[in-house]
């Protein structure tokens, strides 16, 4: 999870129930923080977690393998 979440920027990593409750309350009370964190997480996901190239590579491998048969 720490590879995907940049604590305080793209999300929050908590270690216990109390910290979770405090972070959730903070997000509920701060719409600007919610929007900023959500946008940063979305940007990160679009830039780093795109499966399109992986799917394209797998399709190319399958087409190459099965076209030989």
Q: What token pair was written down for 53?
A: 């190239």
Residue bearing tokens 């972070």: 23
Q: For residue range 3-25, list pLDDT tens digits in order.
A: 779 999 999 999 999 999 999 99
The reported pTM is 0.66
SS3 label, residue 31: helix
Exposure string over 4-19, b if 16+ CB within 10 A, otherwise e: eeeeeebbbeeeeeee
Closest alpha carbon to 5 in 18, 17, 23: 23
Indicate whether 56 pLDDT > 80. Answer: yes
């Amino acid at each position: 999870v720490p590879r995907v979440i940049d604590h305080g920027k793209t999300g929050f990593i908590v270690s216990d129930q109390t910290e979770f409750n405090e972070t959730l309350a903070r997000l509920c009370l701060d719409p600007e923080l919610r929007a900023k964190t959500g946008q940063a997480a979305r940007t990160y996901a679009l830039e780093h977690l795109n499966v399109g190239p992986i799917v394209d590579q797998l399709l190319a491998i399958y087409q190459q393998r099965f076209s030989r048969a």
